Structure 1
Amino acid sequence: MGRERNGVLMAISAYVIWGFLPIYWKNLSNVGSAEILVSRIFWAFITTLLFVLLMKNGRYLKEDLKKLWQSQRSFWSLFVASLLISGNWLLYIWAVNQGYLVQTSLGYYINPLVSVLFGIFFLKEKLSDAQKVAFLLAAIGVAILTISYGKFPWLSFALAMSFAVYGLVKKQIQLDALRGLTIETFFITPIALGFYIWLFVSDRAVFLQSDMKTDVLLIFTGIATALPLVLFAKASQIMPLYMVGFLQYIAPTIMLFLGVIIYGETFGKVHLLSFAFIWSALILFAGSKLFEVVRSKKAVNLL
């Protein structure tokens, strides 16, 4: 139970960071989405590699690569995971900077439902009766949002599916979270570096061609990317996928409030009704987990 509690804390921390990251990307609105993406990939690789080396875990990183290569399924699964998360980042950054923050939040409201279903069908995870009701309430809330949107929210579903499949793949690969992310970003870094070179050669790069603030923000995209992903990876390794999914509602809720309160996007009665279902589901889910913890402690005390 202690490991699971630590996992919950790490997952919550990751989702809170992700929830507030749109503020960060909005401050890079003068930079193209593609350049922000390659900056995230390149600087995330440099950041994670430096941390691995500073922790004197370089030899473990080499061992991880050897083990991955020996297990071709794991190797290529992690490669696919790196492509999925890169595509997810590109869509996300583009959506935020184009003013689609509410549709972005919808994507990350749909994602937990997909993660829960993946956990049930692929990993044979079980839900309690209270958690089944919570899932149903959340599904109703998301359905209301989706229907009210008026047209098929392809962006939301693309974000949801790419991150859900990424989470499923990561769940099934047992790697140290930091070293795993180093390898993930290593896979895609040559492509990112090649694209950055092309940007500089064609005089389209903003990095080192603009102001100091932009340069610093682009460099720190490495930390902004790596920190929540490492926390997410650690949490997903020690928690059921359905629980990781439900906690994810924290991030899009923060995004929604940012979109409505800070960036002036619309929030009507339909949104309120939808989120009433989703927040009720979260409260029920959290309450059921709290009840399980209390009941298990009582059982231990009786022994």
Structure 2
Amino acid sequence: MTSNNKGLFAALGAFTIWGLLPLYWKALSSAIPLEIICHRITWSTLVTLLLLVMWGKVGKLRTVLKNRKILLRFALTSLLLSTNWLLYIWAVNNNYIVESSLGYYINPLINVLLGVLFLRERLRVPQWVAVFFAFAGVCYLTFGYGQFPWIAIVLAVTFGFYGLLRKTASIPSLEGLCLETSLLFLPAFLFLLYLTIQGEFDFVKQSIDGKILLIGTGIVTTMPLLFFGYAAQKIQLSTLGVVQYLAPTLQLSIGLFVYNEPFPREQMIGFALVWCGLLIYATEGTLIHIRKTKRRL
């Protein structure tokens, strides 16, 4: 198997895991979202630290810890990431999987806008058209459907700013995730200890399967990130950009067909406008990549 094929399978693995996460969080719905995220932070810290020790990369993390500017940046990314995680878990377990999927459909276009605002990037005409369609979709959901999709917007914006800050910090994904979860480890651990003292610690009430799932939050957090990092090195970004829509599509399908969430005509129209924008955005990016490849040849 060529490295390109391995990279593609890694990308498919990463976005499939992210797309199937609603099933995972639903299985833990007896626990409050805050306890779930504290488990996720705690076990992710341990898993990433173990991997860094196994791969001899702890030295890089020690170097980063001496840089106050980097620590401040990662304190911000850890807050953005934990907010995104908490809202997503809450949304899934309160039957907002469909709306949550919209956030991850919108996210690439939010990234484009943040690039314009903070990195002084210039948008091409098709990109402006794509953003307009996404904006029209949100407006239609707000006024036509009668409900502002705040869950989708907050998920897209928090993850967009997270990506922006991580893009400008040249630290590998594994080390970055370890640092982010480590910064939140103590408050997460203390909250779990508080729940234990109050007799509200859901972990002890869970079955063996439930306990394994809570511990496994560290693995389902770290594994797709490693797959994604490998894929980003092995396949073209244009391919990665197309594969990323697998995750929200799986989430949407789970919301509709597994948990039977409503998807009325008005909401469908809003989604369709966003999908039109994404189609323009993905097509334009693919065509530009093809042209560049032909020039090199």
Query: How many angstroms does 1:279 deviate by?
Result: 2.6
Query: How many angstroms does 1:122 deviate by?
Result: 0.5
Match of 1:293 among 266, 278, 289: 289
Correspondence 1:114 to 2:107: no
Q: Distance in 2 between matches of 1:192 and 1:151?
A: 33
Q: Distance in 2 between matches of 1:11 and 1:165?
A: 22
Pairing 1:185-196 to 2, within 5 Å after superposition: 185-196=181-192
Aligned to 2:42: 42
Query: How many angstroms does 1:125 deviate by?
Result: 2.2
Query: How many angstroms does 1:192 deviate by?
Result: 0.6
Pairing 1:1-303 to 2, within 5 Å after superposition: 14-66=14-66, 69=67, 72-230=68-226, 249-301=245-297
Residue ranges of structure 2 left out of the alignment (5+ in a row): none
Local SS of the residue matching 1:167:
helix
Q: Distance in 1 between matches of 2:64 and 2:133?
A: 41
Local SS of the residue matching 2:204:
coil
Distance 1:276 1:292, change over 3 A: same
Distance 1:206 1:82, change over 3 A: same
Query: How many angstroms does 1:276 deviate by?
Result: 2.8
Superposed CA deviations along residues 168-203 of structure 1, whole A, max 9, x for unmatched, are 111111101101111111000000111111111221
Could you tell me which amino acid in structure 2 is paired with residue 90 of structure 1? L
Could you tell me which amino acid in structure 1 is paired with residue 39 of structure 2? S
TM-score (norm 2): 0.86
Distance 1:175 1:36, change over 3 A: same
Q: Distance in 2 between matches of 1:222 and 1:291?
A: 38
Q: Distance in 2 between matches of 1:174 and 1:237?
A: 15
Count residues in correspondence: 294
Could you tell me which amino acid in structure 2 is paired with residue 25 of structure 1? W
Q: Distance in 2 between matches of 1:126 and 1:231?
A: 30
Q: Distance in 2 between matches of 1:229 and 1:14?
A: 7
Could you tell me which amino acid in structure 1 is paired with residue 29 of structure 2? S
Local SS of the residue matching 2:56:
coil
Local SS of the residue matching 1:207:
helix
Distance 1:34 1:179, change over 3 A: same
Distance 1:247 1:130, change over 3 A: farther
Query: How many angstroms does 1:267 deviate by?
Result: 1.4
Q: Distance in 2 between matches of 1:63 and 1:223?
A: 25
Contact (CA 8 Å) 1:115, 1:242: kept in 2 or not?
no
Distance 1:289 1:112, change over 3 A: closer
Contact (CA 8 Å) 2:141, 2:148: kept in 1 or not?
no
Contact (CA 8 Å) 2:145, 2:267: kept in 1 or not?
no
Residue ranges of structure 1 left out of the alignment (5+ in a row): none
Q: Distance in 2 between matches of 1:79 and 1:7?
A: 31
Q: Distance in 2 between matches of 1:236 and 1:127?
A: 23
Distance 1:10 1:121, change over 3 A: farther
Distance 1:83 1:27, change over 3 A: same
Local SS of the residue matching 2:130:
helix
**RMSD (CA atoms):** 3.2
Local SS of the residue matching 1:29:
coil
Q: Distance in 2 between matches of 1:52 and 1:158?
A: 32
Identity of matched residues, %:
40
Distance 1:245 1:300, change over 3 A: closer
Query: Quick check: 241-250 or 273-282, which moved more?
Result: 241-250
